Chain A
């Protein structure tokens, strides 16, 4: 059974701080996706990483896929209150199978 473990589970920081969220597995994934979910809404796709070692940037967010395609990280620079939410990673395995979601990291950024 493929599992994705996210850490930390909760993160509470001040505006302007940097942070990193991790998504780890013992399994290899063909791609990995990151979503953000705000209260009362469904998750929204932020990025998909496909190639081992790939780095993608989305404004102050930097996503990296591990070389072995078993792990990923999300780094936020100078966090803002608008970054508050639940961050979920999801791995895609063999073609035609369902995505595997991590349990998420709840981020709270206070001003």
Chain B
């Protein structure tokens, strides 16, 4: 079974630009969660989508948004990029309601904001 895939793997942007990251979950998984990982703050939860609806949201500004499509694929958008947005963005999928929300992570997208 194919794992979670994320595109692109690396991205360099400048302040003020916007960026869209993509995630394809494991086949059959209906829940997709996004996380931001930095050395100082660790793994921080951004939001979770389940069946195209946002189910949970972390404590991030409105510049961070996401959506999920009918095939469970998800996108995350960050507008008006700031230097502090430089991080590894991880996507994870799960069965959600069948298990203890065990997360299957993709390899991440490394975003650098200059």
Contact = CB atoms under 8 A, between A and B. Distances in A.
B105 A101 contact: no
Contacts of B92: 42
A75 interface: no
A92 B101 CA distance: 8
A88 B100 contact: no
Interface range on chain A (Cβ under 8 Å from partner): 20 to 34
B103 interface: yes
B55 A33 contact: no
B107 A101 contact: no
Given A50-B100, A99-B101, 11 more contacts: A33-B100, A42-B92, A43-B105, A44-B105, A88-B42, A97-B56, A98-B45, A98-B58, A101-B45, A103-B41, A104-B43
6 contacts: A35-B103, A42-B90, A43-B43, A43-B90, A90-B103, A96-B56
